[in-house]
Amino acid sequence: MKKVWIDAGHGGKDSGAVGNGVKEKDIVLTVSLAIKRKLESDYEGVQVLLTRSTDVFLELKDRTNKANAAGADLLVSIHCNAGGGSGGFESYTYNGTNNAATTALQNELHTEIMSRLKQYRVIDRGQKKKNLHMCRESRMPAVLTENLFVDVAADAARLKRLEVIEALVSGHVAGIAKYLKLQKRTQQLPASGTINILGPATATVDQAKEWARTNKAPAEFVELAKLYWELAPERGGVDPAIAYVQFGHETGYMYRDGRSAAGIDASYHNPCGLKITTGGGDYQASAHKRFKDWREGITAHLDHLALYAGAAGYPKKETPDPRHFKYLRGTAKTVDALGAKWAPSSSYGTRLVTEIVKLRGSKGAEKTETGNNGEEATIELNGKKICSGVFVNGLVTAPVRAVADALGAKVGWDGKHATVNGKQIIGSQLKGDVTYAPVREVVEAADGNVVDWIGKVRKVIIQK
């Protein structure tokens, strides 16, 4: 397994270069996150590690210390530039070495990135050397890329275009893949029983409303089902039942229990967690798109799903979808395939499938024995019991610390909820001296996976 370290420059209190309505820290985070998604989804045998995945500040020494400790095979530090007159793209390595591997990495990166930027008339400022910390202190081949100038109006305008961001992402990915000689993933046919995203409605609006009511959704969420069934046929032909279930999942049935973990609510009219074009942290409200009304937000949601599914005519020129990137087209044609693509969790698609079957009334499908409320359940890791939980309303809750400790995660408390690896556990509740939460929420915050639920013996199988 090859390890690639992607360093998104600046962050938090350090905005980096600012100009023409563009902040360097936002652009480089968007590019870095997209590089990780695309490289891991398109190529075999590669793991992408990030210095930061949210808008946080880290010292330079902390960045290189982490990369060195991880034993990464290469490092690419992503930046934007300023003060460059006519603007353009350039790349850097450390001026104190002539390491052949580093030179090879720079050659591949620079060539692939510029080959994609030429069509946008981006100036090639060349391959350079400089005494830069990220390149000097890294123990592996390291290159720093300066991706256009935020204070040059023409470059800033380019950085606001989705297709230019896509070019930067795909150029970095291609350069890294060529240097590491990575193999493209082979496209596999959907497994029997998977659910296609595109197609006619597989349930009625009334079925959708009933499903929403059983999940104790507010009246506004229930009534919005009609808008999905109205808009879906004209937005790529997405099955509205799939999109509506995703709406429920992404918004907690439209915030029936309060705001989302990111601090957004129904006033955003954002049904699926779509971020602004430049992206940002998962728990950063300002990184999420605020739509003018539900019609616009649902249209954006359907367009984003249609793009993932590879619908004819997509990507569209006219869409309210702020992240309508061409490279996403056709990357997830089934609901199952959304796992680790739409959301970080590999089980994301599986959870949606479970709810879609429920919405359809489970017609023609076997129902899995799940247990009765209040029954004890066992949580197992690597064949060993780590703790017991309780089955309540379709969920197994268990002590947060017991599950997190078994997965090597750090547990905390923010005054209202438990945290695991710094992520707020929304479903956590204090009972006596012990905090309980749904097992899946804790496991995924700890970067683990729930791989099975054996209803007959009430056992949850997890893995790291």
CB 171 within 8 A of CB 119: no
- CB atoms under 10 Å from CB of 412, counted, come to 15
DSSP 347-365: THHHHHHHHHHHHTTTTTS
Query: Catalytic residue at 318?
Result: no
Phi (first) and psi of residue 100, to 5 degrees? -65, -40
- CB atoms under 10 Å from CB of 101, counted, come to 12
Tokens linked to 426: 């929304």
Q: How far apart are CA 73 and CA 92, in angstroms?
A: 18
Axis-axis angle for helices 162-180, 24-42 (nearest 10): 50
What does the longest C-alpha to C-alpha distance in the chain come to?
A: 69
Which residue has tokens 């998604």? 37
The CA-atom distances, in angstroms, between 173 and each of 162, 165, 169 are: 17, 12, 6
Kind plus residue range of the DSSP H or E element containing 10: none
Compute CA 126 distance to the chain's CA centroid, rounded to the nearest angstrom. Answer: 32
Q: Which of 24, 112, 146, 380 is catalytic?
A: 146
Catalytic center residues: 146
